[in-house]
Amino acid sequence: MNGLTLAYLGDAYYELSIRKHLIELKLTNVNDLHKQAIKYTSGTAQAKIIEYLMEKELLTVSEIETFKRGRNSSGPGRKNIDAKAYHYATGFEALIGALYLEDIQRADSIIGLAITFIEEGALHGKNSG
């Protein structure tokens, strides 16, 4: 599967996982759910997550290769986000998509790390966007 197809799948699985997490936190107002979800799912947030995972060496060589495949296939980007962040976010989504297909437990583990990263950053006023 090409990088963009993996990103398409990864975006859906990551979004679903975040929504499930927020509902488990007992959030019920749809507007609140949406506002909270953006903290985890925005392109900027995803770019920061993947940078953190690589900086802390929490990814395998194969996972980094999958990230790069998605990053490099992401096209020109969008107007509302920095080009580098857009490419990194697409790479993150491609990684999640590939892991969803190959090793869903690992996908869930990385999503758990992402959630922790975003929530710890929110406590310290960092990582959101």
Given the structure tokens 């090409």, which residue do they identify? 2
82 among known catalytic residues: no
Q: Looking at 11, 32, 103, 108, which residue is catalytic? A: 11
- With a threshold of 0.95, does the pTM exceed it? no
pLDDT per residue as tens digits for the range 4-62: 999 999 999 999 999 999 999 998 899 999 999 999 999 999 999 999 999 999 999 99
Domains annotated for the chain, with CATH where assigned, are 3-123 (1.10.1520.10)
Burial class (CB in 10 A: 0-12, 13-18, 19+), 101: middle
